[in-house]
């Protein structure tokens, strides 16, 4: 991809910019690290070691692209010391216990990481003079799910049924309190920090090996030559490729940095309605795209409660950030199959990921 394309998308804003990502060793953090490095940013990361094997972080040798600190978000002193040393301009907070099923097993730890982790990060950020923009990444599950059919807007109340969703609702409330108390847009001239949060849906893409997520479970089953067992075949989810919200986060961070307080609020990043499909539809379609005898069956054993479809109203991001979903579900699934076939064929996965990033950003030009 030529230099012109890179420059057109974010107007070269990220070139040489110091960006600090928490959770850079995870699925979204790894993609974001590759993307920011590709855009010429100076990328710093703070997280635990990759918690899956394999991981995109290791396959793409992201340690070579990012100045990485392996630390716990609950370790306030280490986090503060790292931020003071790095002096970042932009912080994107992704570090979290990110799984609903795990949150049923370990609710205390989920709250400690997701709520106190956010408190630690925001409290540390206010002590570092270089910081101008902070984005807390939560989820669509942070909303009080009334199981209705229209989209949730950013000013809807927080909630969350299971500990993961609820901890993210709490993380949103923490963000809002810090914005009122320490980063108030009215006093922007004094503190110079714009703080926002981003709520995205079910994010999918190559390089995810988390437990209890449909696509990773499916890829694992395919690689082992087994039938995939699916739970909740009729559950509809707002599937979107990982590059969709990540592009939204980067558009938003640029606005926070350049225009400050007017963008310091919550933002939804979700797919178009037509791409919300049920689990069975997604699974069938991947089987067709993968071919080679990939198949599935329905797991009828009782499962813990998972919220029904929750739709985001993304009018705000579309209107004010000019962010729009770009890859439909067909393209997204094709990208996932291509990525995993390349992985199966032992290709260079950093290169494969960069090619997909280029395709995505070129499409968005």
Ligand X SMILES: NC(=O)c1ccc[n+]([C@@H]2O[C@H](COP(=O)([O-])OP(=O)(O)OC[C@H]3O[C@@H](n4cnc5c(N)ncnc54)[C@H](O)[C@@H]3O)[C@@H](O)[C@H]2O)c1
Query: Which residues make up the interface to ligand X (CB under 6 A)?
Result: 23-29, 47-48, 51, 72-74, 94-98, 113, 137, 139, 200, 202-203, 210
Rounded least distance, CB 280 to ligand X, Å: 19
Rounded least distance, CB 353 to ligand X, Å? 14
Quick one: 68 or 228, whose CB is closer to ligand X? 68
**Contact indicator for 141, 201 with CB cutoff of 8 Å:** no
DSSP string, 61-72: TGGGTSEEEE--
CB 123 within 8 A of CB 75: no
Q: Are 200 and 254 in contact (CB under 8 A)?
A: no
Q: In this chain, which residue has its C-beta nearest to ligand X?
A: 26
Is 60 or 94 the residue whose CB approaches ligand X more closely? Answer: 94
Closer of 97 and 353 to ligand X (Cβ)? 97
Contact of 151 with 318, CB cutoff 8 Å: no
C-beta of 135: minimal distance to ligand X in Å?
Answer: 11
Minimum distance, C-beta of residue 365 to ligand X, in the bound complex (Å): 26
Intra-chain end-to-end CA distance of the chain, in Å: 12
Determine contact, residues 73/49, Cβ cutoff 8 Å.
no
**All residues at 6 or more sequence positions from 191 whose CB lies less than 8 Å from its CB, including other chains:** 126, 182, 183, 184
Q: What is the DSSP annotation of 98-165? A: --HHHHHH-HHHHHIIIIIHHHHHHHHHTT-TT--EEEEE--GGGB-----SSPBPTTSPB--SSHHH
Q: Is 261 or 325 the residue whose CB approaches ligand X more closely? A: 325
Element at 255 (helix H, strand E): helix 243-259
CB of 21 to ligand X, least distance (A): 9
Which residues neighbour 125 within 8 Å (Cβ) at sequence distance 6 or greater?
83, 91, 131, 134, 193
What is the nearest approach in angstroms of ligand X to the Cβ of residue 158? 14
Nearest to ligand X of 98, 228 (CB atom)? 98
Is the Cβ of residue 93 or residue 132 nearer to ligand X in the bound state? 93
Question: At closest approach, how far in Å is the CB of 3 from ligand X?
Answer: 29
In the complex with ligand X, the residue whose CB is nearer, 74 or 284, is: 74
d(CA 284, CA 234): 12
């Amino acid at each position: 991809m030529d230099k012109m394309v890179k420059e057109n998308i974010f107007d070269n804003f990220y070139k040489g910019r110091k960006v600090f990502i928490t959770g850079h060793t995870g699925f979204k953090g790894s993609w974001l690290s590759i993307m920011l490095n590709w855009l010429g940013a100076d990328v710093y990361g703070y997280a635990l070691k990759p918690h899956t094997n394999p991981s995109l972080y290791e396959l793409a040798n992201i340690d070579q692209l990012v100045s990485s600190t392996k630390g716990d978000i609950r370790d306030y002193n280490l986090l503060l010391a790292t931020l003071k040393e790095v002096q970042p301009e932009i912080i994107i907070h992704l570090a979290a216990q990110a799984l609903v099923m795990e949150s049923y097993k370990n609710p205390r730890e989920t709250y400690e990481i997701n709520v106190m982790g956010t408190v630690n990060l925001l409290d540390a950020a206010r002590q570092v003079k270089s910081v101008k923009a902070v984005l807390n990444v939560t989820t669509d599950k942070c909303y009080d799910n009334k199981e209705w059919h229209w989209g949730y807007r950013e000013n809807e109340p927080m909630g969350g049924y299971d500990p993961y969703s609820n901890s993210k609702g709490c993380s949103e409330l923490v963000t809002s309190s810090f914005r009122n108390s320490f980063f108030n847009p009215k006093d922007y001239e004094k503190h110079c920090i714009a703080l926002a949060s981003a709520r995205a849906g079910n994010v999918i893409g190559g390089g995810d090996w988390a437990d209890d997520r449909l696509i990773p479970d499916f890829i694992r089953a395919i690689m082992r030559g087994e039938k995939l067992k699916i739970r909740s075949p009729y559950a509809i989810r707002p599937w979107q490729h990982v590059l969709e919200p990540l592009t939204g986060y980067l558009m938003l961070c640029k606005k926070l940095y350049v225009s400050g307080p007017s963008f310091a609020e919550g933002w939804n990043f979700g797919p178009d309605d037509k791409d919300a499909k049920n689990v069975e539809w997604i699974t069938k379609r991947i089987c067709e795209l993968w071919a080679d005898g990939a198949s599935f069956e329905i797991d009828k054993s009782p499962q813990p409660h998972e919220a029904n479809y929750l739709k985001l109203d993304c009018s705000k991001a579309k209107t004010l950030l000019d962010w729009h979903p770009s890859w439909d579900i067909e393209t997204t699934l094709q990208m996932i199959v291509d990525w995993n076939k390349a992985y199966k064929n032992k290709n260079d996965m950093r290169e494969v990921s960069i090619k997909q990033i280029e395709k995505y950003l070129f499409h968005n030009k």
